[in-house]
Amino acid sequence: MALDLLRCAGEGQDLYVVSLEGTADKALAAWPRLAPFADRLIFLNKRPGWSIATVYRLWRLLRRLGVTAVQTHHVGPLLYGGVAARLASVRRLVHTEHDAWHLRDPHRRILQDSLISLLRPILVADSNLVARELEKVLPKRTYLVIPNGIDCDLFTPGNRSGARAKLGLPQIERIIGCAARLESVKGHNRLFHAHALLPNNVHLALAGTGSLEEDLRILARSLGTEDRIHFLGRIDDMPTFYRALNVFCLPSDREGMPLSPLEAQASGIPCVATDVGGTREAVCPDTGAVVSPADPSFLAEGLTLALSKKPRYNPRAYPLAHCNLSDVVAAYQALLAPEAVR
């Protein structure tokens, strides 16, 4: 989302993305899609633990750039970015939350509540569900809702056969795709067990890397499905990935407002996802399905239905109407504009 806001900046708007941690060289090597924005990315390489020097560096940076508005994401950036912004007399401070589960920790909750009282940012949630959950743990706070959006001009329907050829996928009848880090929170274990319940001619394509790759390969062998699961690794050309699929699946244990279901649907691909976080708001109710994460059989049932039915509507209509990037950019620019000062 941050990169999209950079790309869609209006004429005369100077936007920067500041990362508290890491270095530019490592980030650019790991994520080639950052390259077009390299001159707008700033990395502070903060070490673990509290660092008052980072507040000072941010304060100097904001003053040098003449920053008029700051947007932070999650509690750590709110602490450093928010304090530095107020010290630099930046009047417009917007804080966006993408989930609420992390505030169940009492120390984190107290810290965030104290920072909100001290810094008085405009509070934004990226889905209605996240807003409701945040208001439960911080009942005295009110959040505006600006749903995550995706670039519907980038993610479009395309040639399925050509996309599969480009990715080295088989030209078979049905492929389910999942784009997510190979980490436990993303629920690949659940997806693998659900996939094992489907017919043998249904394949699974995975975009992403992570620490669980070898464990998942072992699981596939134990389930007897290794010949029909394709580990594609990191994919930079995500529009091609989505176009290669019949159905997209997000089987996560936790989510905020996920972007991948929206990207898939904008590409004309129906989506099946677990009912966690704001996922229900990211899935078209007419063409996709949201299922309980309690048992892989529920996911298998949803995938079976999605693979077998011919939807009456194009999934693309949903993100066009509800989560188009142009609407998100306009909403944030309105908040960050001079007349939005509170």
3 or 262: which carries more pLDDT confidence?
A: 262
Task: Check residue 133 and give its pLDDT.
Answer: 86
Distance CA 312, CA 68 (A): 48
The sign of the torsion formed by the CA atoms of 119, 122, 124, 129 equals positive
Tell me if 148 sits within 8 A of 126, measured CB to CB: yes
Q: What is the mean pLDDT of residues 319-337?
A: 87
Task: Check residue 237 and give its pLDDT.
Answer: 93
pLDDT tens for residues 204-244? Answer: 999 999 999 999 999 999 999 999 999 999 998 999 999 99
Angle CA 179–193–242, to nearest 5: 20
3-state secondary structure the chain: CHHHHHHCCCCCCCCCEEECCCCHHHHHHHCHHHHHHHHHEEECCCCCCCCHHHHHHHHHHHHHHCCCEEEEECHHHHHHHHHHHHHCCCCEEEEEECCCHHHHCHHHHHHHHHHHHHHCCEEEECCHHHHHHHHHHCCCCCCEECCCCECCCCCCCCCHHHHHHHHCCCCCCEEEEEECCCCHHHCHHHHHHHHHCCCCCEEEEEECCCCCHHHHHHHHHHHCCHHHEEECCCCCCHHHHHHCCCEEEECCCCCCCCCHHHHHHHCCCCEEEECCCCHHHHCCCCCCEEECCCCHHHHHHHHHHHHHCCCCCCCCHHHHHHCEHHHHHHHHHHHHCHHHCC
Task: Check residue 339 and give its pLDDT.
Answer: 58
Q: What is the mean pLDDT of residues 96-103?
A: 84
Q: What is the mean pLDDT of residues 48-52?
A: 91
102 or 171: which carries more pLDDT confidence?
A: 171
Tell me if 145 sits within 8 A of 127, measured CB to CB: yes
Task: Check residue 341 and give its pLDDT.
Answer: 46
Burial grade of 253 (CB within 10 A; 0-12, 13-18, 19 or more): middle
Task: Check residue 211 and give its pLDDT.
Answer: 95
pLDDT tens for residues 111-148? Answer: 999 999 999 999 999 888 888 888 888 888 889 999 88
14 pLDDT above the threshold of 90: no
Task: Check residue 5 and give its pLDDT.
Answer: 84
84 pLDDT above the threshold of 70: yes
340 pLDDT above the threshold of 70: no
Task: Check residue 334 and give its pLDDT.
Answer: 87
Residue with tokens 């650019």: 28
Task: Check residue 301 and give its pLDDT.
Answer: 96
Task: Check residue 33 and give its pLDDT.
Answer: 84
Beta bridge partners of 205: 177, 230
Confidence of residue 71 (pLDDT cuts 50, 70, 90): very high
179 pLDDT above the threshold of 70: yes
Confidence of residue 158 (pLDDT cuts 50, 70, 90): very high
